[in-house]
Amino acid sequence: MNFLLYISDYMIPFVIFYIVGFGLLMKAPVFHEFTKGAEDGFKVVLNIMPTLIGLMVAIGILRASGTLDLLAEVIKPVTNFLKFPSELVPLVTVKLFSSSAATSLLLDIFKEYGPDSYLGRLSSIIMSCTETVFYTMSVYFMTAKIKKTRYTLAGALFATLVGVISSVFITNRIF
């Protein structure tokens, strides 16, 4: 195990030296390519910034206004029928938009119920088995200038549903 820890400490510096060394061997202008890539990355950040700000503000408003808790209460009969804890509805909903906001909800669940509780374990597995669908689609499609998403949203939402169902199944089986 110590060997893996030793290798992991030196992996990133090795990759950096390898890339720079390979660029020098190929007689490529390494620093120019680096600055060009950094400039392109900065342009991408500027292009997606309005979307990011909009998503973060919307999540903050939903959370502060209590809309997420209201949603959980409204669909509680459905979640009870499906044997899914309604306390995790806000987590699943927010995770579709923002992983950092979902992480803050996860920490709230840990504070209230404990990380080793059923809800703590289930919410941890849900966080691992789902994706920030709307964030990912908006960022990547905006960057690639894709206007028609075709079946991406339906497929991503279906994959998220499967991830949540699998999380419940795994949590009930293992724990």
At residue 175, the pLDDT reads 64
Residue 174 has pLDDT above 80, yes or no: no
At residue 4, the pLDDT reads 80
Q: Rounded CA gap, 33 and 41, in Å?
A: 12
Confidence of residue 37 (pLDDT cuts 50, 70, 90): very high
Residue 1 has pLDDT above 70, yes or no: no
At residue 146, the pLDDT reads 85
At residue 23, the pLDDT reads 92
Residue 76 has pLDDT above 80, yes or no: yes
Residue 141 has pLDDT above 80, yes or no: yes
